[in-house]
């Protein structure tokens, strides 16, 4: 027996099929590391990348899920069709492996912060100084191999900041958001540190795995991300996690 569908029912089905409830699901994978993702924050903050993912999906009117993972798992999930997209550094390798959808932050610096009184304007100024760097970072760089630098390996940006605050190292190096977030958590002021030297400038992009999301969904993500960036929304998010004293560091 042929089902009896009214014109009203057919129109309703067509309208519902184009609503966000029926849109393609975007599966984010996010680095589970503060300030990108935060657990049990007293201020109720969820993390910078979590905020960014939510804002993009909401603006694009797309359903989404967000899984917090160690960085190695983020890469594996994207490679094995478990996740679709993530927010991370744009590199020559990532350009080949993923779809660079849209720029989010155009300054995601690697920085070196010195103790008060130690001026740093170039890498050579670290000669004969104690430099704290996170274990496994700066691989292939001269900072990790220069025999004139006394390196102190740490387990996190938090530990590096504690060493600097205690006067046990002369400088610390790492990603600007990580370090400045930790300085903000410690309630430190600008005059409690020395120079903030930009060692390398990089960009953070929304990047998605190839051949997983439809071109229509990728376009929606790109348009939403571009609009939010131009409106300054992502910069506003950054200021949630970095105190005003460090929000515009001099380099």
Return the pLDDT at 248: 56
Residue 9 has pLDDT above 60, yes or no: no
Domain 24-106+203-246, second-level architecture? 3-Layer(aba) Sandwich (3.40)
Question: Could you tell me which residues come within 8 angstroms of residue 138 by beta carbon, excluding any fewer than 6 positions away?
Answer: 144, 173
DSSP category for residue 91: -
Give per-residue pLDDT as tens, 196-211.
999 999 999 999 999 9
pLDDT range class, residue 4, cuts 50, 70, 90: very low
Residue 21 has pLDDT above 90, yes or no: no
Residue 6 has pLDDT above 50, yes or no: no
**Given the DSSP bridges, would you call strands 150-154 and 130-134 parallel, antiparallel or unpaired?**
parallel
Q: Map out the domains of the chain as residue ranges.
A: 24-106+203-246, 110-200
pLDDT range class, residue 107, cuts 50, 70, 90: confident
Structure tokens at 110: 């690697």
Q: Of all helices (H) and strands (E), which one includes residue 17?
A: helix 7-17
Return the pLDDT at 23: 65
**Given the DSSP bridges, would you call strands 64-69 and 26-31 parallel, antiparallel or unpaired?**
parallel
Give per-residue pLDDT as tens, 30-74.
999 999 999 999 999 999 999 999 999 999 999 999 999 998 999
Return the pLDDT at 29: 98
Structure tokens at 126: 């670290």
pLDDT range class, residue 92, cuts 50, 70, 90: very high
Largest separation between any pair of C-alpha atoms in the chain? 87
Please state, rounded to an integer, the average pLDDT across all residues of the chain: 90
Residue 163 phi/psi, 5-degree rounding, is -65, -40
pTM for the whole thing?
0.86
Over residues 12-34, the mean pLDDT reads 69
Residue 167 has pLDDT above 80, yes or no: yes
Domain 24-106+203-246 shares a fold with domain 110-200: yes
The phi-psi region of residue 226 (left if phi > 0; otherwise alpha if psi is between -120 and 50; otherwise beta) is: alpha
Question: Does CATH place domain 110-200 in 3.40.190.10?
Answer: yes
Over residues 5-31, the mean pLDDT reads 59
Give per-residue pLDDT as tens, 114-152.
999 999 999 999 999 999 999 988 888 899 999 999 999
């Amino acid at each position: 027996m042929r089902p009896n569908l009214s014109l009203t029912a057919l129109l309703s089905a067509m309208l519902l099929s184009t609503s966000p409830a029926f849109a393609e699901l975007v599966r984010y994978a996010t680095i589970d590391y503060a300030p990108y993702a935060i657990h049990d924050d007293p201020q109720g903050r969820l993390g910078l990348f979590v905020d960014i993912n939510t804002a993009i999906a909401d603006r694009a009117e797309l359903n989404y899920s967000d899984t917090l993972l160690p960085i190695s798992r983020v890469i594996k999930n994207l490679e094995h069709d478990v996740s679709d997209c993530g927010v991370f550094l744009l590199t020559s390798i990532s350009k080949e492996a993923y779809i660079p959808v849209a720029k989010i932050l155009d300054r995601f610096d690697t920085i070196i912060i010195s103790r008060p009184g130690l001026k740093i304007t170039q890498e050579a100024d670290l000669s004969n100084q104690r430099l704290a760097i996170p274990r496994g970072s700066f691989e292939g760089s001269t900072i990790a191999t220069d025999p004139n630098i006394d390196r102190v390996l740490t387990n996190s940006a938090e530990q590096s900041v504690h060493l600097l605050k205690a006067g046990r190292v002369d400088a610390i190096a790492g990603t600007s958001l990580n370090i400045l977030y930790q300085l903000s958590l410690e309630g430190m002021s600008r005059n409690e540190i020395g120079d903030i030297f930009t060692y390398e400038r990089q960009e953070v992009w929304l990047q998605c795995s190839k051949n997983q999301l439809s071109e229509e969904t990728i376009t929606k993500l790109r348009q939403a991300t571009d609009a939010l960036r131009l409106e300054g929304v992502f910069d506003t998010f950054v200021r949630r996690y970095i105190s005003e004293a460090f929000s515009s560091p001099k380099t």
